[in-house]
Structure 1
Amino acid sequence: MVEITSKDNEKIKSTKLLLKSKNRNKESKFIIEGYRILTLAFEQKDIIDYVFINEDFENKEEHRKFLKELEDANIKVYKTTNKNFKDMVDTENTQGILAVVSYEKKTLEKNLTDDDKYIIVLDRIQDPGNMGTIIRTADAAGADAIITLKGCVDIYNPKVIRSTMGSIFSMNIIPAERDEMLSTLKSKGIKIVSSWLNTENWYDTVDYGNKVALVIGNEANGIDDVIAENSDLLVKIPIYGSAESLNAAISSAILMYEIKKSLV
């Protein structure tokens, strides 16, 4: 373990830069913070670049055991002051441990395979909490891949990472342009299903087929008109009360599980 006290240390400065999306994209790295999510990332050791802890993290025996596991795996651990550590995370009540993690830049051509038969398409989902919850739900519902379209919040935003509860490491998440997504799914014979208010198709009364891409639209404006026009099926969830609509994460969960029933 290496101790760093200076706030001007290059390792601390480069880590802080990853709090901004443009730097995460440039370096293909992001920050995860918290003991539990680090234990999940550790299951895929090769993605962890290095770890920082604060002055208090070693106070618990289970934490000391985890640090020993990290060092046995030749993962570099740095210890710094509580103040320096706080400057590298976006949470008020930190757990005292973070890691910098590398990720692969994915494309539809390379990362969407013929075995992927259940896909979630996210169209301009902008709320980090919604994004993280949808990723977590897609994982739980057995989706094979997630496609994020231009205008979506950065999936490596710290708030998104926390909301995924570790599913960020197990889901195949691929960024794409709208037209590329449409042409790719059509060429693979995947039925494009969109959640849409102006349809007579109730979500639990239709045939989804055996290869499905479910599109979830922007929280305020719904699904892009071009996507709706190119969808094979439009469905809606009934609203029984006076609410205008359902939250994007809630509606996506209802639809994901209904579609999964037709695929098993």
Structure 2
Amino acid sequence: MYKSISSTQNSLVKQIAALIEKSRDRKKSGLFVIEGAREIALAKKGGYCFKQLLFCAEIFVEDPTRLTTDHTEIIKISEEVYQKLAYRTTTEGVLAVAEAKDHSVANSPLENDNPLVLVAEAPEKPGNIGALLRTADAANVDLVIIANPRTDIYNPNIIRSSVGCIFTNSVITGTTAEILQFLKSQNIQIYSAILQDSIPYHRCDFTKPTALVVGTEATGLTEEWRTQSTQNIIIPMQGEIDSMNVSVAAGILIFEAKRQRKFK
């Protein structure tokens, strides 16, 4: 019924392995790999198209067509092939080769006339990016922006650590200059989490169109955000350290904004 692949030396298997391992191949082809039924289902819900769906019948016992989109080629693979391609050992025996979306600023999906936006500048660790995406999904923010990205957003570690929330969030990327221009063109207030010229975050009004901007723990935000924000903000610290994990900081700011908006 379905095409079968049993050899790890198959050319398609090698191509998929390269997509998993190399950002260069993902960018060149416009394709990436999703592992796991939950993640694939979220990508389908998020409007992604799948070129191929590969399943191992010894592990994945459901009907694979429930996870496919139009024109998806379904391929049955051996356990040996699955083990070669699987990034995790606990997934359900199914992978999809998906078409990447356009995440440029010009393709911003912003529709809400009173948006809440999360901006993260130059996040590098996939685990932090995944946590930011999970927080954004939990709060149902309107847009996530990665400024000066250092990591391919279809990195398997980001997909894994976000538990598929990369597909449930609206995400765009661009340079800091592009993002600042975009936010100002949309009349969105910019609140940058930075020490200089700042006030405590809870003293700000986040009920209007708002962008909450966070940087890395190591370097913080660049000077552009300090000088061009509506207001710089801090989270008052009462312990011995002077910083916290970026995803934790983002969560505090986002849910304060949601509280002010009465969780609308």
Give me the TM-score of the superposition, normalised by structure 1: 0.88
* Superposed displacement of residue 42, structure 1: 3.8
Query: Residue deviations 1:22-45, cap 9 Å, x none?
Result: 111122221111122223334457
Structure 1 SS opposite 2:196: coil
Aligned equivalents of 2:35 and 2:44: distance in 1?
13
Aligned with residue 103 of structure 1, among 94, 100, 104: 100
* Residue 206 of structure 1: aligned partner: 204
- Alignment of structure 1 residues 189-204 onto 2, 5 Å: 189-204=187-202
Aligned with residue 77 of structure 2, among 61, 77, 80: 80
* Superposed displacement of residue 220, structure 1: 1.1
Range 48-57 or range 180-189, more displaced: 48-57
Structure 2 SS opposite 1:260: helix
Residue pair 2:53, 2:68 contacting (<8 A) in 1 also: no
Residue type of the alignment partner of 1:245: S
Aligned with residue 171 of structure 1, among 158, 169, 172: 169
Aligned equivalents of 1:235 and 1:163: distance in 2?
28
- Alignment of structure 1 residues 53-68 onto 2, 5 Å: 53-54=55-56, 56-58=58-60, 63-64=61-62, 66-68=63-65
Query: Residue deviations 1:148-189, cap 9 Å, x none?
Result: 122332211111111222322221111111111111211221
Residue pair 1:41, 1:48 contacting (<8 A) in 2 also: no
Q: What are the ranges of 5 or more consecutive residues in structure 1 without an aligned counterpart?
A: none
* Residue 142 of structure 2: aligned partner: 144
Aligned with residue 226 of structure 2, among 223, 228, 237: 228
* Superposed displacement of residue 209, structure 1: 4.7
- Alignment of structure 1 residues 21-100 onto 2, 5 Å: 21-43=23-45, 47-54=49-56, 56-58=58-60, 63-64=61-62, 66-70=63-67, 75-100=72-97
Residue pair 2:110, 2:142 contacting (<8 A) in 1 also: no
RMSD: 2.3
The verdict on how the C-alpha distance between 1:73 and 1:29 changes in structure 2, with shifts beyond 3 A counting, is: closer
* Superposed displacement of residue 235, structure 1: 0.9
Aligned equivalents of 1:15 and 1:78: distance in 2?
13
Aligned residues: 259
Residue pair 1:122, 1:152 contacting (<8 A) in 2 also: no
* Superposed displacement of residue 211, structure 1: 0.7
The verdict on how the C-alpha distance between 1:251 and 1:46 changes in structure 2, with shifts beyond 3 A counting, is: closer
Aligned equivalents of 1:200 and 1:193: distance in 2?
10
Aligned equivalents of 2:91 and 2:128: distance in 1?
22
Query: Residue deviations 1:46-78, cap 9 Å, x none?
Result: 6122111235214xxxx32x3253579663222
Structure 2 SS opposite 1:90: coil
Residue pair 1:122, 1:148 contacting (<8 A) in 2 also: yes
Give me the TM-score of the superposition, normalised by structure 2: 0.88
Aligned equivalents of 1:2 and 1:220: distance in 2?
49
Q: What are the ranges of 5 or more consecutive residues in structure 2 without an aligned counterpart?
A: none
Aligned equivalents of 2:106 and 2:178: distance in 1?
10
Mapped pair 1:240 → 2:242? no
Mapped pair 1:6 → 2:4? no
Aligned equivalents of 2:184 and 2:240: distance in 1?
37
The verdict on how the C-alpha distance between 1:40 and 1:188 changes in structure 2, with shifts beyond 3 A counting, is: closer
Residue pair 1:126, 1:219 contacting (<8 A) in 2 also: no
Residue pair 2:43, 2:168 contacting (<8 A) in 1 also: no
